[in-house]
């Protein structure tokens, strides 16, 4: 029951406000488009797209920011704060943080050269968060294809959605700790690529050293992620699971040869991910500050 026109009369300039702020943020740091896209994924996979990931921990409230997949990793919260401030100035107490995140993720992708799509709107913000759900329901970079498939199925997403959405790894960076096992132990990896990555990710130490998820075009939203997988240059173990002799090999090849198919599937899958159990109507609230419940 979300609709792209949800704020058409209550906040007619919403999309322009979000787009302008994202444009400034991406110009300042291209990685921010990637970071915001990931925030949206990590929001939607934990009790739906309800802005839960945006809530700060306090003495009496345990949020999701310190869950294992997010701690020292999730970033871009200041940009969401800026957008929220601008949106509140134009349309007080009207637009949810969950919807702002959905629009910002779409705009980040488009600003880095990727597809665009209409974002269904009308989500409301959670008054709760779940660190344990974040730990248990956000997929691990060490997972195999069967586990990734079931993580996505648990959210109503298909294996085709899994593969298309994993194409989000065409932008952004990962810490050594998330891919060390792959570059030292996996055998389904290009030897030169593994050597290149080991140079800045030692067998011990350097846990926070960064490497691009897409070695070719880390700041461009294109289909190079899939070309890398075919060349056995996936950075995460979970990435290469999509092209390792299993059910997704053919689709990875299709995306690697046909950027338009990837773009269309990615956009459609982003809408489906954005539909994961939203709060609507009188559920939840319109948070005034994305970091705290009203």
**Binding flag, residue 256, Ca ion (CB under 5 A):** no
Question: What b/e readout covers 254-292, taking b as 16+ CB neighbours within 10 angstroms?
Answer: ebbeebeebbebbbebbbbbbbbebbeeeebbbbeebbe
Place of tokens 């660190």: 131
Select from Ca ion, ligand HEM, none the partner in contact with residue 139, using the beta carbon and a kind-dependent cut-off of 5 to 8 Å.
ligand HEM
Nearer to ligand HEM, 79 or 286 (CB): 79
| Residue nearest to ligand HEM as judged by C-beta position | 172
Query: Which single residue is written with the structure tokens 């991406």?
Result: 26
Q: Exactly one of 50, 107, 161, 239 binds Ca ion (CB under 5 A); which one?
A: 50
Active-site choice (42, 106, 155, 233): 42
Q: If contact means CB under 5 to 8 A according to the sort of partner, which of ligand HEM, Ca ion, none does residue 34 touch?
A: ligand HEM
- Strands of the chain, DSSP E: 173-175, 210-212
Considering only the stretches 5-13, 51-59, 198-206, 263-271, report the one whose residues sit in contact with Ca ion under the rule CB under 5 A: 51-59
Query: Which two structure tokens, joined as six digits, stand for 254?
Result: 């299709």
Residues in touch with ligand HEM (CB under 6 A): 31, 34-35, 37-38, 41, 73, 75, 139-141, 143, 148, 162, 165-166, 168-169, 171-175, 178, 213, 236, 238
What the block records as the tokens of 189 is 């990896």
Contact call for residues 178 and 236 (beta carbons, < 8 A): yes
Options 7, 11, 37, 47; binder of Ca ion; rule CB under 5 A = 47
Residue 125: contacted member of ligand HEM, Ca ion, none (CB under 5 to 8 Å, by partner type) = none
**Is residue 42 annotated as a catalytic residue, yes or no?**
yes
Closest to 106 in 3D by CA, of 273, 284, 218:
273
Question: Which residue numbers are catalytic?
Answer: 42
């Amino acid at each position: 029951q979300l609709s792209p026109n949800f704020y058409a009369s209550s906040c007619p300039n919403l999309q322009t406000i979000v787009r302008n702020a994202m444009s400034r943020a991406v110009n300042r740091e291209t990685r921010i488009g990637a970071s915001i896209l990931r925030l949206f994924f990590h929001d939607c996979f934990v009790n739906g797209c309800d802005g839960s990931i945006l809530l700060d921990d306090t003495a009496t409230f345990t949020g999701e920011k310190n869950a294992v997949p997010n701690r020292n990793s999730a970033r871009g919260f200041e940009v969401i704060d800026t957008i929220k401030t601008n949106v509140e100035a134009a349309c007080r107490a009207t637009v949810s943080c969950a919807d702002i995140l959905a629009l910002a993720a779409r705009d980040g992708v488009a600003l880095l050269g990727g597809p665009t799509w209409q974002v269904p709107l009308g989500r409301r913000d959670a008054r709760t968060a779940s660190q344990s759900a974040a730990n248990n329901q956000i997929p691990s970079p060490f997972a195999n294809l069967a586990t990734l498939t079931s993580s996505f199925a648990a959210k109503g997403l298909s294996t085709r959605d899994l593969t298309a959405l994993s194409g989000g790894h065409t932008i952004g960076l990962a810490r050594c700790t998330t891919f060390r096992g792959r570059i030292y132990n996996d055998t389904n990896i290009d030897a030169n690529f593994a050597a290149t990555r080991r140079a800045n990710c030692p067998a011990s130490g350097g846990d926070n050293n960064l490497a691009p998820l897409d070695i070719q075009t880390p700041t461009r939203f294109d289909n190079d992620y899939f070309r890398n997988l075919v060349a056995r240059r996936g950075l995460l173990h979970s990435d290469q699971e999509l092209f390792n002799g299993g059910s997704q090999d053919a689709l990875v090849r299709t995306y690697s040869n046909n950027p338009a198919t990837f773009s269309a599937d990615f956009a459609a899958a982003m809408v489906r991910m954005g539909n994961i159990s939203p709060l609507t109507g009188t559920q939840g609230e319109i948070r005034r500050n994305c970091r705290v419940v009203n």
